[in-house]
Amino acid sequence: MKDIANKIKAIAQDLLEKGEVSLFMGWEQGEFEFQTRPFFARTSQDAEKLIFNEYSIHNLANALLKFRDGQEKIGLVVKGCDSRGIVRLLEDLQFKRERLYIVGVCCPGLKDPLEAARAHSGFNPQAAPAPLAAKCRSCLQPNPVIYDQLLGEEQAPRSEGERYAQVHEIEKMSADERYRFFEEMLSPCVRCYGCRQACVACNCRTCIFDETKPQWVGRETSASDNFMYHLVKALHMAGRCVECGECERVCPVNIPLMLINQKLIKDVNQFYGPYEAGLNYVEGAKPPLSVYKENDPDDFH
Amino acid sequence: MKILSKQKLTAAFDQLAEKAELLVPMQKGATSAFLPWPEFEPGRDELRLEALNVDKPPKDAVLPQTERMYKFSASGPEVAVQEVYEISSPRIVFGIRPCDFRGIECLDQVFLTRGYADGFYQSRRDNTVFIAQACYQPGPNCFCNAMGVDPVKPQADVTIHDLGDGYAWEPLTPKGEETTEMISDLLQEKKADLPEVKPFTRQVAYAGLAEKLKDLFEHPIWEKLSDPCQNCGICTYSCPTCYCFDIQVKSFGEAGYRFRCWDSCMYREYTLMAGGHNPREASRERFRNRFLHKLQFFQERYGQPLCIGCGRCLIVCPAGISIVNIMQELKEVE
């Protein structure tokens, strides 16, 4: 990883010095070993600070949204999952390909700095960080799917048992059992919208949850309002989630959000597939459920 | 000195829970919080009195995340308020840390001083007893001392001190004396030495910062500091002092109720005004407001910062943003 980090630094310095990008997104070292944080270098001097290590887990494709209204060219580092996020942004017409210089890193699987921070905090004496972040233990695409330059050696996909094992378990439940399962799962939600903000597919300019006239989803932290929030969010993800796992990773109350996304991935695959979101960028291509045709054989309701 | 042996702790909880709603620090599922003692399931849940602190701040004991205010019904142009929900049932919060108790004192300033007392807050607050647990071993993210908190002398109703096999029990207010009465049969009078306070591992540069910030509103450093921030509300909802709320209504036909709920200055919608103008449209503007409120505006109005050094935001921020590092950078910037 040291080698990758040095290459990233050199690439960024070169791009910034030549003026080919006006901003380069990577990571910098925080106070603690695990405290790696997103960092945007604007000069080659800034780029001195760039690092890449086992905690460089954040999906920087999401950070691009801060710059979607600009014209400047931006360089950034992406891992396999993050690169699918770039495809998400391109397909959703949020960014133009020519505004990006993409440094892809074949990802060996990383650690979760949040898990490490919790273990280090003294708040939970029993917490022990896992050697690989949950989102990295099952990874379909560790190698970037879109890039201008590729670093590191190609990695094999990783999996923990059958891909949809947990989804199958829930599908087998009775309606009542399922209701209780989701009630228990979603009740702790504090509606901090961390999952929305961490999501590269959540790129609507005005989010439905911020609409007040009309207010589509209530702001109480009750089971019903929480259900509505997560249901609506989930359905907006159908065919669009790139499985970067950031929503679940950042959740401060540890809701297993990827379970919901997995169900949608499975269903979209089954009904409209084979399809995996963001694996292959073809200009002008649209993901399933994002196209409306007047001669659609089904009614729109 | 009064001592509560740890062997008698659950008996004390049972006795207190008979008189009031008793909230204790507990790990339930994936998170820890102050939760009602009767909900404690042995074998499944765990008490967290020995841990440094709990994940969720205790502010919802006096400022619930969602709080119904009143119920109404309309008939034609007439609206009748049917029921006002001012909660005044007795409640005891057991084992709150001195930093978090300072957080409650900050909320008191906001909701009870400067000419207006908030009835909903007041009725909860007046009927809540805080039993604080002194901190002798600061954790790696603790910096309460730099924010003006004395970790072993909280001004709560009762302070308890962990002596290993028991707690020294020190009532400080009439409410605290009353609570002590409820378990007087379990307390023993004994001589005991209080532990020594371990040194803090962090140095924080707050002194003088509020004054300096007055000239930094337009400084370009805010752009750089806010770069990693994704503008979620995790820090604000994990913070024991963030008190912003919104008042909303739920109606069904002609009847409904009004409630307030926590809000977050990190959200775009928070400052969205009628007519569509948003004075804090950019991420860095919302970010700047949060830190200026904590470190400058509150200091100017109430003479103390709105950060109490509990360290929660340093642990939960998805982007690894640290208010300690931010204070340092602001201190150093020219």
A chain contacts of residue B65, beta-carbon cutoff 8 Å: 190, 221
Flag whether A298 is in a domain: no
**Which of these three, A110, A129, A151, is where a domain ends?**
A151
Between CA B106 and CA B149 the distance in angstroms is: 12
Pick the closest to residue A186 from A233, A215, A222 (CA basis): A222
Please name the member of A37, A38, A122 whose beta carbon is closest to the beta carbon of B52.
A122
Pick the closest to residue B314 from B49, B52, B3, B30 (CA basis): B52
Ramachandran angles phi, psi of A155, nearest 5°: -115, 150
**Predicted pLDDT of residue A23:** 97
Same domain, A71 and A130: yes
Strand partners, B259: B68, B248
**Which of these three, A122, A151, A180, is where a domain ends?**
A151
CB distance A35–B320 less than 8 Å? yes
CA atoms within 13 A on the CB side of A6: 3
Average pLDDT, chain A: 94
Between CA A220 and CA A232 the distance in angstroms is: 15
Which residues have C-beta within 8 Å of that of residue B86, sequence separation ≥ 6? B119, B120, B123
B chain contacts of residue A113, beta-carbon cutoff 8 Å: 320
Between CA B35 and CA B23 the distance in angstroms is: 5
Q: Are B69 and B259 in contact (CB under 8 A)?
A: yes
User: What are the pLDDT digits (tens) for B221-241?
Assistant: 999 999 999 999 999 999 999
Q: What's the whole-number mean pLDDT along residues A273-297? A: 87
CB distance A219–B231 less than 8 Å? no
Chain B residue with CA closest to A217: the answer is B250
**Predicted pLDDT of residue A301:** 56
pTM: predicted TM-score of the whole model, two decimal places: 0.94
Flag whether A160 is in a domain: no
Strand partners, A70: none
Q: Are B298 and B304 in contact (CB under 8 A)?
A: yes
Q: Are B308 and B98 in contact (CB under 8 A)?
A: no
Interface of A with B in 50-109 (CB under 8 A): 58, 62-63, 66
Chain A residue with CA closest to B46: the answer is A124
Pick the closest to residue B240 from B149, B154, B311 (CA basis): B311
Flag whether A106 is in a domain: yes
CB distance B55–A196 less than 8 Å? no
CA atoms within 13 A on the CB side of A148: 15
Q: Is B101 exposed, middle or buried (0-12, 13-18, 19+ CB in 10 A)?
A: buried
pLDDT band at A257 (very low <50, low <70, confident <90, very high): very high
**Predicted pLDDT of residue A300:** 61
Same domain, A192 and A274: yes
**Predicted pLDDT of residue B30:** 83
Flag whether A294 is in a domain: no
Same domain, A271 and A171: yes
Q: Is B173 exposed, middle or buried (0-12, 13-18, 19+ CB in 10 A)?
A: middle
Give the distance from residue B190's alpha carbon to the nearest chain A alpha carbon, in angstroms. 30
pLDDT band at A213 (very low <50, low <70, confident <90, very high): confident
User: What are the pLDDT digits (tens) for B149-193?
Assistant: 999 999 999 999 999 999 999 999 999 999 999 999 999 999 999
Same domain, A116 and A213: no
Flag whether A159 is in a domain: no
Give percent of chain A above pLDDT 90.
86
Same domain, A132 and A66: yes
Radius of gyration of chain B from its Cα atoms, rounded to whole angstroms: 22
Same domain, A146 and A176: no
A112 CB within 8 Å of a chain B CB: no
Same domain, A8 and A145: yes
Q: What's the whole-number mean pLDDT along residues A159-182? A: 95
Residue type, A2: K
Give the distance from residue A263's alpha carbon to the nearest chain B alpha carbon, in angstroms. 22
Residue range of the domain that includes A102:
2-151
Same domain, A84 and A171: no
**Predicted pLDDT of residue B205:** 87
Flag whether A25 is in a domain: yes
Same domain, A102 and A174: no
Flag whether A293 is in a domain: no
**Predicted pLDDT of residue A287:** 84
Helix (H, G, I), strand (E, B) or coil at B333: coil
Give the distance from residue A207's alpha carbon to the nearest chain B alpha carbon, in angstroms. 10
Structure tokens at B50: 């020995």
Same domain, A180 and A71: no
Q: How many domains does chain A have?
A: 2
**Predicted pLDDT of residue B48:** 94
> Terminal CA-to-CA distance of chain A, rounded, Å?
51
User: Cis omega before residue A274 (within 30°)?
Assistant: yes
Same domain, A90 and A138: yes
Between CA B37 and CA B17 the distance in angstroms is: 7
Chain B residue with CA closest to A26: the answer is B228
A122 CB within 8 Å of a chain B CB: yes
Residue type, A254: N
CB distance B32–A124 less than 8 Å? yes
**Which of these three, A93, A118, A151, is where a domain ends?**
A151
User: What are the pLDDT digits (tens) for B187-220?
Assistant: 999 999 999 999 999 889 899 999 999 999 999 9
Flag whether A123 is in a domain: yes
Q: Does residue A299 have a pLDDT over 80? A: no
Same domain, A111 and A143: yes
A29 CB within 8 Å of a chain B CB: no
User: What are the pLDDT digits (tens) for A104-161?
Assistant: 999 999 999 999 999 999 998 888 889 999 999 999 999 999 999 999 999 999 998 8
CA distances from residue B301 to B80, B101, B217 in whole angstroms, order as listed: 37, 20, 17
Chain B residue with CA closest to A69: the answer is B282
User: What are the pLDDT digits (tens) for A178-192?
Assistant: 999 999 999 999 999
Structure tokens at A18: 């030549």
Average pLDDT, chain B: 95
Q: Does residue B9 have a pLDDT over 90? A: yes
Give percent of chain A above pLDDT 70.
99
